[in-house]
Amino acid sequence: MSALRDLVAEGGVAVLSGAGLSTESGIPDYRGPTGAARTYAPMTYQTFTRDAAARRRYWARSHVGWQVIGRAAPNAGHQAVAALQRAGLVDAVLTQNVDGLHQAAGARDVVELHGNIDRVVCLGCGQTTPRGDLDQRLRAANPTFAALAAAVNPDGDADLDDAAVAVFRPVDCARCRSGVLKPDVVFFGESVPPERVDRCFAAVGAARLLLVLGSSLTVMSGRRFVLRAAKLGIPVAIVNQGPTRGDAYATIKVDAPLGTALQALAHSLRSSVP
């Protein structure tokens, strides 16, 4: 932690966060100690757009999962990142998470690599609306729906039995009346918008330190930024519970709960952090 403090104290930090940062807010990750193992394959963009039954299944699960994601509050880790940014030590916040908790904690100009589940987009007319509005419409369309989730995943997808899914009624776009609604997140089989990836690469390239928080770096979506930092000779510091696929590139690795570690880091830099 002292070595990490010395690196962060010099500023120019780009943060890359993953699901492990949000576990202390009650949102399980996929692969860490609090992970919720999927009992089914994740939704793909191709299946979602082509199969009405698959969309019904997704929205039933996501409607239940939203009751957890939508109530989640930033934890000490999110607050520490925002404090370090206010102090001028963190220049960029890049996140693989779709929960919006960085912004809720006060972080600015967050690049949401995979989007935000708080927004819904119509694939017909392109209108984007708040998830809270859709939640009200789904409640009105399903007044007796009271399914309980066995587990909720970081993307808000919940495990439900087939009987609960069968009685759920999804809704279409309220503006064009026929457009398919999709959460404004990147599904499996869907590409991250190139301009978003470019922003992340630019932030990493301009950084003096890449600080990875709560990501196993299992998928290339996040690991590519660690590889870019290593190629450019930019130090990489990782704070995560358990091993990651970026450990070989790390100058510093801290294996600890994120909230505790980041709160201690911010506290140790209290002369710089307002």
Q: Is residue 121 part of an annotated ligand binding site?
A: no
Torsion angle, CA of 53/59/60/61, rounded to 10 degrees?
A: 110
Q: Is residue 258 part of an annotated ligand binding site?
A: yes
Q: Is residue 122 part of an annotated ligand binding site?
A: yes
3-class DSSP assignment, residue 211: strand
Give per-residue burial for 183-218: e unless 16+ CB within 10 Å, then b: bbbbbeebeeeeebbebbeebbeebebbbbbbbbbe
Cα–Cα dist 205/234, whole Å: 8
- Residue 263, H or E segment: helix 258-268
Q: Is residue 125 part of an annotated ligand binding site?
A: yes
78 in catalytic set: no
Q: Is residue 75 part of an annotated ligand binding site?
A: no
Q: Is residue 173 part of an annotated ligand binding site?
A: yes
Q: Is residue 215 part of an annotated ligand binding site?
A: yes
Cβ neighbours for 56, distance < 8 A, ≥ 6 positions apart = 165, 168, 170
Q: Is residue 98 part of an annotated ligand binding site?
A: yes
Q: Is residue 162 part of an annotated ligand binding site?
A: no
Nearest CA to 231 out of 252, 204, 253, 211 is that of 204
Cα–Cα dist 41/56, whole Å: 15
Q: What is the DSSP string of 144-192?
A: T-----S-B-TTS-B---HHHHHT------TTTSSPPEEEEE--BT-PP
Is 250 within 8 Å of 238 (Cβ atoms)? yes
Q: Is residue 116 part of an annotated ligand binding site?
A: no
The single residue of 63, 102, 114, 267 carrying the catalytic annotation is 114
Q: Is residue 200 part of an annotated ligand binding site?
A: no
- Residue 67, H or E segment: helix 52-69
Q: Is residue 242 part of an annotated ligand binding site?
A: yes
Q: Is residue 184 part of an annotated ligand binding site?
A: no
Q: Is residue 96 part of an annotated ligand binding site?
A: yes
Distance of CA 200 to the CA centre of its chain: 15
Residues flagged as binding site: 96-99, 122, 125, 173, 176, 214-216, 240-242, 258
Residues flagged as binding site for Zn(2+): 122, 125, 173, 176
Annotated catalytic sites, by residue? 114
